[in-house]
Amino acid sequence: MNIKWAALAETAGVSLLVTVAVVVVFALGNLALSRREAAVAAGTGRGVPALVAAGVCFAACTAVVLYGISLIASK
């Protein structure tokens, strides 16, 4: 019986890393968005840096999703 433990471990490791990375980036985007809302509500500015940061975070998440779809489609 030939079980490829290395491939299994690799799959597990990649899955763990990607999941945590995507959720962390998404949560940061979420946090930035709420900072902006707070800034606008408090009248301390329009929260442009926070908005840009949120945009970058969500764009990164979108890129990962598109890569995922391309993985399904190319099989």
Partner 1 sequence: MEHITFLVAVVIITALAFDFTNGFHDTANAMATSIATGALKPKVAVAIAAVLNFAGAFLSVKVATTISGGLVNEKAGLQPSIIFAALVGAILWNLLTWLKGLPSSSSHALYGGLIGATVVGVGLHGVNFSTVVSKILIPAVASPVIAGLASWGATKLAYLITRGAPKEGTEKGFRRGQVFSSSLISLAHGTNDAQKTMGIITLTLISAGALHKGDGPPTWVIVSAGLAIALGTYMGGWRIIRSMGSGLADIKPPQGFSSEAAAATVILTSSHMGYGLSTTQVCSGGIMGAGLGGPSGKLRWGMVRRMAYTWGLTLPAAAVVSGLAALVADRGNWGVAVVGLALVVGAGSMWLVSRRQPVHADNVNDAAPAAAEVPAVVAPAAAPTTLAA
The single residue among 33, 47, 50, 53 that binds partner 1, judged by CB under 8 A, is 33
The residue with tokens 């999941």 is: 19
CA angle 10, 12, 13 (to 5 degrees): 65
| Cβ atoms within 10 Å, residue 4 | 9
Residue 11 is a binding residue for partner 1 (CB under 8 A): yes
Residue 61 is a binding residue for partner 1 (CB under 8 A): yes
Secondary structure letter of residue 44 according to DSSP: S
| Site of interaction with partner 1 (CB under 8 A) | 1-4, 7-8, 10-12, 14-16, 18-20, 22-24, 26-31, 33-35, 37-38, 61, 65, 68-69, 71-73, 75
